[in-house]
Amino acid sequence: MINDFWTPVKLSVEIATISLLIVSILGILAAKFMSKRQFRGKIMVETVFLLPLVLPPSVVGFLLIVVFGMNSPIGQAIDWLFDQSVMFTWWAAVIASTIVAFPLMYQSAKTGFEMIDEDIENASRVDGANDLQVFLHISMPLAFGSLITGGILSFARALGEFGATLMFAGNIPGKTQTIPTAIYMALDSGNMELAWLWVVTIMVISFCMLSFVFYLNQFKK
């Protein structure tokens, strides 16, 4: 009973943590690049970035299968390199969680970077700082609150991902079975006690993270 309970919890936290690291790097870099630049096609690019936020999870899962399946060049390349498909593996769950969590990190980081006064960044450049130094020592600290908010929301979204993960990574106990898929299977088999334990666990984790976001927003004011 204890092992049955903790295995999906541990797996979900691991997957959400790796997803958070990936979306933090990609989201922050993309947000910084897009925050104060205007170019033809920018609206289209941003629409693509935010699309997973509004697409049904089943559609995201379907597209991941198309992109990484054995009939695609990417899927065949992965199979050739690692001698196995990425589908129905731990990394498939990470990819699915990363895709659905990315828009939250990107949008929050972009909002934070857009609020920075360009004169502050330009003053740093006048004093001799290069673009990397300005980014690390000026832009990042000034947008820190928004970055933390985006990170927490992204982690929560990755932790609760269900539809795309189920389609792309499957529901393999001890390998790809996360808390949401475990709840679904427990409910389907009539194991209400175990389902409730997972429901309460993910509710407590999500409540604590959202409370921290609200506290952080109040603190910024």
Question: What tens digit of pLDDT does each residue of 8-17 get?
Answer: 999 999 999 9
**40 vs 42: CA distance, rounded Å:** 6
pLDDT greater at residue 31 or residue 128: 31
Counted domains in the chain: 1
What pLDDT, on a 0 to 100 scale, did the predictor assign at position 124?
Answer: 85
- For the chain, where are the alpha helices, taking DSSP H only? 2-35, 42-54, 57-68, 73-82, 90-114, 118-126, 131-134, 140-142, 144-159, 163-168, 179-189, 192-220
The pTM of the full predicted model, rounded to 2 decimals, is: 0.89
**Does pLDDT of 219 surpass 80?**
no
**Does pLDDT of 87 surpass 70?**
yes
Average pLDDT over residues 145-169: 91
What pLDDT, on a 0 to 100 scale, did the predictor assign at position 1?
Answer: 56
What pLDDT, on a 0 to 100 scale, did the predictor assign at position 201?
Answer: 92
**Does pLDDT of 94 surpass 80?**
yes
Exposure string for 16-55, b = 16+ CB within 10 A, e = fewer? bebbbebbbeebbebbbebbeeeeeeeeeebeebeebeeb
What pLDDT, on a 0 to 100 scale, did the predictor assign at position 3?
Answer: 62
**Does pLDDT of 123 surpass 90?**
no
Over the stretch 59-73, which tens digit does the pLDDT of each residue have?
A: 999 999 999 988 889
Average pLDDT over residues 131-136: 87
pLDDT above 90 covers what percent of the chain?
52
Band the pLDDT of 133: cuts 50, 70, 90: confident
Band the pLDDT of 174: cuts 50, 70, 90: confident
Q: Any idea what the CATH number is for the domain that residue 158 is in?
A: 1.10.3720.10
Q: What is the overall mean pLDDT for the chain?
A: 89
pLDDT greater at residue 215 or residue 186: 186
User: Is the torsion defined by CA of 119, 115, 38, 136 positive or negative?
Assistant: positive
The domain containing residue 32 runs over which residues? 2-220
